[in-house]
Structure 1
Amino acid sequence: METKYNIVKKAIMSKILDGTFQPNQKISSESEMMKTFNVSRHTIRLAIGELVNQGWLYREQGAGTFCADRSAKEGSNNGGSSRNIAIITTYISDYIFPSIIRGAESYLSDNDYHVTLFSTNNDHDSERRSLERIIAQQYDGVIVEPTKSAFANPNINYYLNLERLNIPYIMINAYYDELEPINVVMDDERGGYIQTEHLIKQGHSNIVGFFKTDDIQGSKRMKGYIKAHRKHHLSINPKNIISYNTIEKKQKPVEELDKLLKQTNGDRPTGIVCYNDELAINLLDVLREKNLQVPEDISIVGYDDSFLAKVSEVKLTTIEHPQSKIGETAARVMLDMIKETSGNQKKQNEVESVIFEPKLIIRNSTSEIN
């Protein structure tokens, strides 16, 4: 069971990390905290004493206890002896994420940096806890894959605190637009366009698109899907745009495709554009249950060129994702940012974001319409 003083200590630290207590701001008095936490003065003093010793707080005789300004201490670590980089990703062991992480970790290790991995499982609370640990432990830099990047993020204050503490961060695969951070991403709108145009050029006009829209990548791929239809003067059946979120990803697309395949009178789709290869593999199971052949009866396009694109008897036509290259590039840019912020000296060449152009990999899951 967690001790009372440790609960108090964590609560005070959280207020510092989320910006509630600013540097040199006086914190609540011992009496106020005794009432807030319903604990003894001794417990409060233990918690405050540890935070003072660890540099989170400082005391002024006769004035009270204040939040320490840790920015100078944090900033001095950048490019210094600690050489620790944090990587926050939505998932660590699933799908293409291990390849992205390996790319970043390999480059950073070659440059004598230690890497610590954090996983959010695409959950904002998990992201907050990761950011609290990163700020508390004084990392030199942070590589972040945003959580539910299509939505307003409740943890923006933590990223603003990273900036205040002079800790550089870079975002990969997506980014929080309100922060306008340095980022390493794919042109996902173009990727969605290429997926869809490939099917259109093969004669398909009834194309269903599945897009996970709590991540900005899905929204952009959907935009590309719509653009391709407009460019080729094809109307879109509203039922052919299927959006889903992370929680729904295993069930909703399968159910929606099942409904679409029950259509008659020529309304059944002949082509499928998928948010990623993982989804495409799941949808292949539905097509098998319906005794539909790919690509003879229906064509399907994935995204990411993951290992899943080649594991089944149907080899997926898909969009190539840089995977390890995107991780390596993010690591290289991260180290450039650390050099730029070290000693508060600007480099002559400002660090810039990187956008990878998508490329279609054609295999046997698509063909011209009969």
Structure 2
Amino acid sequence: MAQKTKYNMVKEKITEWITSGQVGPGEKIYSENELVKKFGVSRHTIRQAIGDLVHEGWLYREQGAGTFCSGQRLHHKLPENKTQNTNRKNIGVITTYISDYIFPSIIKGIESYLTEQGYSLTFACTDNDIEKEKQCLQSMLSRNIDGLIVEPTKSGSFNPNINFFLELEQNKIPYLMINQFYPQLVPPHIIVNDQKGGFLAAEHLIELGHHKIIGIFKADDLQGIYRMQGFIEAHRENNIPLSAEMMINYSTEEQNDVLIDKVRKLLSTSEEMPTGIICYNDQIAVSVLNCLRELGLSVPGDISIVGFDDSFLAEATELTSVTHPKIELGIQAAKWIVSAVENRNQEGNEPQATVFEPELVIRNSSSFLKNDCIVS
């Protein structure tokens, strides 16, 4: 019980820093070591409290940089000695995840522009779960938001939460989808040309002499579907046969051990050893890299590997990867929603779709096939 009291005390104090304005949106909070000394509690207690505040949307983490205030304080009652601007507009932001991988950079882009324009933000994340998305949408509607930026959940199949988006339309509340979109709605969206990204990744390995390439793609979102389409297209254009066994599809629930078991099985049962692997994103690529090491295979000596998103993980592991605009996508999303809100009652000029064109960043995880090595 004492541990619980300390844990709650840490959470309440950090929340107080945020709601009082002592820590502003985008500002870094104390390090773990500093918090341990400040509160006189164990590192485990600090991590548990910080983890909860990240999950609840108060804080977000950036790999190698620290933990920052997410801006959630803007939606809570200000102290009596603070004057609240009742005209302040509120934008909802729903992402599949909020604290890991490329999402902090996207959120930073959104937040930097919206706060600069005097807008407040309400953050929520779905963990790529349909039921959680429903709860997030219900919460946003109850807050009377002025606009919504949302990253869809499992966009590769029919979404049962379509009615909430139709309600937004009926109430003339503009919304924008990022990274992917629900094709049933054909909504305004800002995405990356994922099909081209899949094509670039596959073409790169093909040009290096690889003809036996594994493609690993997420099956329950449009990004994975489009990236797989590009992968197939590159094989067709280069007249390279592609067997179904070379494509591994996985769902959100399978993205850890189940997926890696599929990779191990394919590598151990394939009659001809694959020499290249293209992964849905850099997170999956790092897991595959670890798997290859366990199997005694070297990268790129035995197998070349390409990821997606050109994240900090790609930089840290020298991974060849397809770019994702991250911060720029967030800024453009924020600009779109502000324009849509300001022009709500008149003809706006917001584009229905914005598509970023990806590029390939070549690092040390891909190289010429041994037998086809070219010496310059």
Which TM-score band applies after superposition, normalised by the shorter structure?
A: 0.7 to 0.9
| CA distance, structure 1, for counterparts of residue 350 and residue 126 of structure 2 | 30
| CA distance, structure 1, for counterparts of residue 162 and residue 192 of structure 2 | 23
Residue 170, structure 1, aligned to residue 173, structure 2: no
What amino acid maps onto 1:366 in structure 2?
S
- Determine the structure 2 residue equivalent to 1:91: 97
- Residue by residue over 1:122-148, the C-alpha shift from the partner in whole angstroms, topping out at 9 and shown as x without a partner, is 111111111111111111100000000
| Match of residue 279, structure 2, among 259, 274, 279 | 274
Residue 107, structure 1, aligned to residue 80, structure 2: no
Q: Secondary structure at the match of 2:360?
A: strand
| CA distance, structure 2, for counterparts of residue 124 and residue 131 of structure 1 | 11
Q: Secondary structure at the match of 1:318?
A: strand
Residue 200, structure 1, aligned to residue 206, structure 2: yes
Q: Secondary structure at the match of 1:292?
A: coil
Which aligned pairs between 1:56-205 and structure 2 lie closer than 5 A?
81-205=87-211
Q: Secondary structure at the match of 1:179?
A: coil
Q: CA deviation at 1:289?
A: 1.0
Residue 318, structure 1, aligned to residue 324, structure 2: no
Larger radius of gyration: 1
- Determine the structure 2 residue equivalent to 1:359: 359
Q: CA deviation at 1:99?
A: 0.6
- Determine the structure 1 residue equivalent to 2:32: none
- Determine the structure 2 residue equivalent to 1:303: 308
Q: Secondary structure at the match of 2:308?
A: coil
Greater mean alpha carbon deviation, residues 254-263 or residues 185-194: 254-263
Greater mean alpha carbon deviation, residues 255-264 or residues 114-123: 255-264
- Determine the structure 1 residue equivalent to 2:42: none
Which aligned pairs between 1:202-351 and structure 2 lie closer than 5 A?
202-263=208-269, 267-312=272-317, 315-341=318-344, 344-347=345-348, 349-351=349-351
Q: CA deviation at 1:203?
A: 0.4
Pick closer, same or farther for the CA change 1:256–1:173 going to 2, 3 Å. same
| CA distance, structure 1, for counterparts of residue 249 and residue 295 of structure 2 | 22
Check conservation: 1:336, 1:351, Cα contact below 8 A. Answer: no
CA root-mean-square deviation: 1.2
Greater mean alpha carbon deviation, residues 194-203 or residues 246-255: 246-255
| CA distance, structure 1, for counterparts of residue 220 and residue 156 of structure 2 | 5
Pick closer, same or farther for the CA change 1:111–1:304 going to 2, 3 Å. same
Check conservation: 2:88, 2:118, Cα contact below 8 A. Answer: no
Q: CA deviation at 1:350?
A: 4.5
Unaligned stretches of 5+ residues in structure 2: 1-85, 371-376
| CA distance, structure 2, for counterparts of residue 85 and residue 179 of structure 1 | 21
Unaligned stretches of 5+ residues in structure 1: 1-79
- Residue by residue over 1:184-216, the C-alpha shift from the partner in whole angstroms, topping out at 9 and shown as x without a partner, is 000001100100000000000000000011111
What amino acid maps onto 2:144 in structure 1?
Q
Check conservation: 2:282, 2:311, Cα contact below 8 A. Answer: yes
| CA distance, structure 1, for counterparts of residue 350 and residue 107 of structure 2 | 25
Q: CA deviation at 1:116?
A: 1.0
Q: CA deviation at 1:263?
A: 3.8
Q: CA deviation at 1:253?
A: 2.5
Question: 4+ runs of 1 displaced by more than 6 Å?
Answer: none
Check conservation: 1:260, 1:269, Cα contact below 8 A. Answer: no
What amino acid maps onto 1:300 in structure 2?
I
What amino acid maps onto 1:368 in structure 2?
F
TM-score after normalising by structure 2: 0.74
Q: CA deviation at 1:237?
A: 1.9
What amino acid maps onto 1:159 in structure 2?
F
The structure with higher relative contact order (CA 8 Å, sep 6+) is: 1
What amino acid maps onto 2:289 in structure 1?
L
